[in-house]
Amino acid sequence: MLKIRLQRVGKKHDPSFRVILIDSRKGPKSGSFIENLGFYDAIRKVKQIKADRVKHWISNGAQVSDTVHNILVSEKIVEGKKKNVLPKKSPIVKEKEEAEEKAGETSDEKEVVSEDKAEVTEIPEAPVEEVKEEIKEEVPVEEVSTETEEKKEESKE
């Protein structure tokens, strides 16, 4: 099967690509492509593609990679929607923006809720101190220490 895909050329940190027609069983760096259909410079956003040759090969059954499909759609050589080429773990850019907007709305709602909770959860300090005093009165420290000493003596015997 024939594929239309990108072949990276150029220097490090300067991504530029050839749009090539190649057998799908061969790697993109093998160098044995059938036809050079154009180029794409990712840094400068320059695209030059032979539209008539691309349409010819697509009509003859060549498959197009997702990234090349998106380039062809942006150049209006092929009609259709762009495909998501991001990894499955990261959402589409539009979905990210919507998620951030929703997160902004929910954070506002959380602030309102937290303010309401602050009013409800405020407890005067005096009753807490009274409760602490009651707890101290119920369990004297001396009784607890004598019980543990007696248990130690019994275990030694």
Q: With the CA atoms of 144, 150, 155 and 157 taken in that order, what torsion angle do they form, in degrees rounded to the nearest 10?
A: 170
Q: Are residues 107 and 147 in the same domain?
A: yes
Tens digit of each residue's pLDDT (9 = 90 or more) over 47-86:
999 999 999 999 999 999 999 999 999 999 999 999 888 8
Range of the domain at 9: 2-74
Q: Are residues 29 and 70 in the same domain?
A: yes
Bigger pLDDT: 75 vs 110 = 75
Tens digit of each residue's pLDDT (9 = 90 or more) over 20-40:
999 989 887 788 899 999 999
Q: Is residue 86 one of the residues assigned to a domain?
A: no
Tens digit of each residue's pLDDT (9 = 90 or more) over 127-145:
555 655 655 555 555 555 5
Q: Is residue 79 one of the residues assigned to a domain?
A: no
Determine contact, residues 36/49, Cβ cutoff 8 Å. Answer: no
* Terminal Cα-to-Cα distance of the chain (whole angstroms): 89
Q: Is residue 14 one of the residues assigned to a domain?
A: yes
Domain termination site, one of 45, 74, 103: 74
Q: Is residue 88 one of the residues assigned to a domain?
A: no
**Out of 2-16, 54-68, 105-119, least confident range:** 105-119
Q: Per the structure block, which two tokens stand in for 75?
A: 């150049």
Q: Are residues 70 and 8 in the same domain?
A: yes
Q: Are residues 13 and 65 in the same domain?
A: yes
Q: Is residue 42 one of the residues assigned to a domain?
A: yes
- Cα–Cα distances in angstroms (integers) from residue 67 to residues 84, 125, 131, 139, 147, in the given order: 9, 65, 69, 74, 78
Report the CATH number that the domain containing residue 51 is assigned in CATH: 3.30.1320.10
Domain count, the chain: 2
Q: Are residues 99 and 55 in the same domain?
A: no
Q: Is residue 83 one of the residues assigned to a domain?
A: no
